[in-house]
Structure 1
Amino acid sequence: MNKLLWSSVLALTAAAFLSACGDETTNITETTGLTSVDKFKNLAECTAENEGELVYVKDSAKAYLCGASEWTNLSANNSDGKNGLDGKDGKNGTDGKNGKDGKDGASCTVTPIENGYKVLCGGDSVGVLLNGAKGDSGAQGVQGKSGENCTVKANEEKNGYDLTCDGKVVTVTNGSDGESVTDSQGESCTGKTLENGDIQISCGKDFTGVLHNGTDGKEGKSAYEIAKEEDPTITDVASWLESLKGNPGTSCTATALSDSSGFELTCGGNVVGTISNGKDGSDGKGFMDGWMIDSRDKQLYRVVTIGSQTWMAENLNYKVENSWCGGGSGATEGDCAMYGRLYTWAAVVDKSEDECGYGYDCHLDTGRVQGICPDGWHVPSYSEWGILYTELGGISTCGRVLRSKTGWEYEEAGTDSVGFSVLPAGIRAPNGYFDDKGVHAYMWSATEYDDLQAYVVLPGSGARGYSNKNNALSVRCLKD
């Protein structure tokens, strides 16, 4: 019983005893009305529907109030005492005097009156229980909060499913006889044969479904019967089967020609062609003579020999400080696999920016500069680039020969007839922005121009010149 209801009962009891001291009738409280039953067992179930109902039980002459789903005797002492601590031993008392006999107590009864009941104790009226009046319609309650969505996710570890609602997870396991992973023993399923032969399945106390007996299927139609339905002119199985056969195939033969130059191919009695013997080719070097592997990072590069020089036929793609992927746009790097990397000039000659960068005279040796090229290879000097140009007819003709066949936006597609495959990887400026992808292919030489610049070439167009050392450009290595 809730605290509010206990308070009401105690107040009612106290008021009844106080009223017993006087003769006047006191209106104790208003109730929903007092009914009566012969015995306590005849009381209806106390629920939310009849909460507040007061019933008089005749055989015990007691009134019971329905509250918090139970019937409470109004004259009972319903307060719970707390455990007391052990007290100290008291002193022995002296003999007391004989007391006088007290008066017999008076019992209480409840008598029906108009619109309620009168309570009499020892023949005296101690109070009245009036039937309560119907209350006015209550105000509309506050709308509750929206419910939370629930999700279900398979839980393979527990052989079931996790049900998540408002952040709380409950696992529902696939039950079988025996103990569940997370809860009590599961319920087994049983089958019951029905009169028509079907099987009724129940799991635990719940009906689950019915397994129906199937009927025998009818004999299917043959392919001949189906064909006959489609074409009524078919009357004989043998002739129909014969009509399904294909025409005989023809064999092919090869006959040597009289001049030993090849073979004549005949199929089904008809000459369908001639297979000629190939001629031996003359010795020579191909445009793509081979490959090389950079032992530092195991990257594979095509190589090509043009005149007396053997070049990498791809841009160097060895990662070092102050290098970025070529073919970028804006502030975004490009594709290293396609365009290789772009390097500052100090990075190309394998020096720090404080030694050979923008604003520093580098004073490299006049011999070969390996720089960032692998062992056995070096960064070509400005004059070595000139040798390549001269080998291919000079500035006016070498550009189209060296250009790749694709990737150029403004220049005419190259012939790439020597396999050098120049791609327009563009440039990275000192401010971090990439430009000229698809337009120009800038390549460093190992030759310094001054403290600010070094010589460069544009083999896709045959042009030559110089660039600021802090620009990032492509590199091709030349074999020693």
Structure 2
Amino acid sequence: MKQIYIYTFAALLGVSLVCCTPQKENTSVIVDIISKLSFDDVANHDVTYGVAYDIDSNEYKTLQIGEYEWFAQNLRTKTLQDGTPISVVSENETWAKTTEAACCSYNNAECTEVTGMLYNYKAVQTNQICPEGWEVASDSVWINLADNFNGVDRAGVDLKANNVWNEKQKTTNASGFSAVPAGFREREGAYYIMGKNAIWWSADPHNAENAKYFYIDNNESLNGSHIVREVGLSVRCVKKH
């Protein structure tokens, strides 16, 4: 297995997106490293994974955690359940102005089975972004996930994939969840913090302008907050058994 570590390439501190102003970073090096990884490079090989498929026939590894079955990979579909295409938006100006469900790949690089796509909240709101029978994880489901791994203050350690976070960070991926720091796209179109943060939408809105999200950074915790709906974040799908 490849032993690849992502180091800090810039001054981003990996803190909550609503309490800091991101600075530009050298994304090209980070994207190049992560884009060469397969899921096999970041998986926990002691975990028995299931398999699911989206409407585009992309394959995802899944795993059972408590009463929920989770995707072990970020969603990468470009089509809703009903066959409606999700707009793939590369241009910053178009991303900033779009009012429809949209997605993109980080820094417009090729989407991979490790990074997945980034989606605006309009895509989440369709309730058709995940495969039939699956849904975007809500606040309570994220908290339930953390509760299975020592609570929100410590869960990040067991949720982080091995080999892709700064080597100084404690990671076990004991869960098999294989969280990868795939970064995000801000509402004006710029990309930030690949290699530093894993950030996923919650299905729950916060208010008329903002929606909830959960993230893992250079700390040991799984944190929740809220942000404007126009940004692009990762998505994990889940279903209850």
Q: Which TM-score band (shorter chain)?
A: 0.5 to 0.7
Shift of 1:309: 1.1
The superposition leaves residues 452-476 of structure 1 with CA deviations (integer Å, 9 ceiling, x where unpaired) of 1011101454111111101100000
Task: Return the match for 1:390 from 147, 168, 185.
Answer: 147
Taking the TM superposition and a 5 Å limit, the aligned residue runs for 1:7-406 are 287-294=47-54, 296-319=55-78, 320-321=86-87, 322-325=102-105, 328=106, 332-337=107-112, 338-350=114-126, 370-406=127-163
1:479 equivalent in structure 2: 239
Matched-pair contact (CA < 8 Å) for 1:333–1:434: no
- Structure 1 counterpart SS, 2:122: helix
The superposition leaves residues 174-216 of structure 1 with CA deviations (integer Å, 9 ceiling, x where unpaired) of xxxxxxxxxxxxxxxxxxxxxxxxxxxxxxxxxxxxxxxxxxx
Q: 1:398 and 1:310, CA in 2 relative to 1: closer, same or farther beyond 3 A?
A: same
Q: 1:433 and 1:409, CA in 2 relative to 1: closer, same or farther beyond 3 A?
A: farther
1:452 equivalent in structure 2: 209
Q: List alignment gaps of at least 5 residues for structure 1.
A: 1-285, 351-369
Shift of 1:371: 3.3
1:195 equivalent in structure 2: none
1:466 equivalent in structure 2: 226
Matched-pair contact (CA < 8 Å) for 2:197–2:216: no
Alignment partners' CA distance in 1, 2:67 and 2:144: 9
Matched-pair contact (CA < 8 Å) for 1:411–1:439: no
Q: 1:431 and 1:410, CA in 2 relative to 1: closer, same or farther beyond 3 A?
A: farther
Structure 1 runs, 4 residues or longer, greater than 6 Å off: none
Tell me the amino acid that sits aligned with residue 115 of structure 2.
Y
- Structure 2 counterpart SS, 1:446: strand
Alignment partners' CA distance in 2, 1:335 and 1:288: 28
Shift of 1:289: 3.1
Tell me the amino acid that sits aligned with residue 403 of structure 1.
K
Q: List alignment gaps of at least 5 residues for structure 2.
A: 1-45, 79-85, 88-101
Alignment partners' CA distance in 2, 1:399 and 1:324: 25
- Structure 2 counterpart SS, 1:443: strand
Q: CA RMSD in A?
A: 1.7
The superposition leaves residues 262-308 of structure 1 with CA deviations (integer Å, 9 ceiling, x where unpaired) of xxxxxxxxxxxxxxxxxxxxxxxx623311122x1111100011111
The TM-score with structure 1 as length reference comes to 0.34
The sequence identity of aligned pairs, in percent, is 31
Matched-pair contact (CA < 8 Å) for 1:339–1:425: yes
Tell me the amino acid that sits aligned with residue 312 of structure 1.
F
Matched-pair contact (CA < 8 Å) for 2:53–2:131: no
- Structure 1 counterpart SS, 2:132: coil
Count of aligned pairs between the two proteins: 170
Tell me the amino acid that sits aligned with residue 185 of structure 2.
R
The TM-score with structure 2 as length reference comes to 0.67
Q: 1:304 and 1:323, CA in 2 relative to 1: closer, same or farther beyond 3 A?
A: same
- Structure 1 counterpart SS, 2:198: coil
Tell me the amino acid that sits aligned with residue 379 of structure 1.
V
